[in-house]
Amino acid sequence: MENVELKEGDVLLIVDVQQDFLPPEGALKVPGGDEIIPILNSWIGRFSKLGLPIVASRDWHPEDHCSFIENGGSWPRHCVQGSPGAEFPDDLQLPASTIIVSKGTTKEKDAYSAFEGTDLADRLRQLGTKRLFVGGVATDYCVKATVLDALSNGFDVVVIKDAIRGVNIAPDDSIAALNEMERQGAAIL
């Protein structure tokens, strides 16, 4: 990590590191999701020290969101707006200047990507973003969708491999997701 030179135009994007996605109590816990927090904190420290922007996306679902099993979706109820499960964990050291992007905010539409239904692309362009460093959960869903959308919006993307974890409904889902991100042009660090 130390040998990566950060520069003007770099932005750290932390995807959905929220209580409901973290062991042991999360409603939709990603195995090992809590293990990435110290790694992300070290990246947060590096970006903060250089005055580079940090963005954190979050699922911010209404009570009756379409992704919930009880509403015909695929997932247990998670990250309901204003609930403890939707909060960022206390040990994730997000500075006060962190740009928060809320996604999945309407009941009829799911959003895996931090770009979907948000103004993230415009905000990144206003910041002069050239390269995104991405970590978070889950590798095979929201991280992958966010990375692919970032690439299609013209940003260079570096996936911080030790700062992501996957759901892995099938055992190789995260490996397949990483391969797909790399095939589409992301650098894997």
Q: Would you call 97 exposed, middle or buried from its count of C-beta atoms within 10 A (0-12, 13-18, 19+)?
A: exposed
Q: What is the spatial distance between Cα 98 and Cα 11, in angstroms, rounded to a whole number?
A: 11
Biggest CA pair distance of the chain? 47
Q: What is the spatial distance between Cα 128 and Cα 102, in angstroms, rounded to a whole number?
A: 21
Catalytic residue among 16, 20, 34, 149: 16
Annotation marks residue 103 as catalytic: yes
CB atoms within 10 A of CB 14: 27
Annotation marks residue 140 as catalytic: no
Catalytic residue among 103, 110, 140, 144: 103
First to last CA, the chain: 8
Annotation marks residue 79 as catalytic: no
Half-sphere exposure for 169 (CA within 13 Å, toward CB): 7
Catalytic residue among 110, 142, 144, 149: 142
- Residues marked active site are found at 16, 103, 142
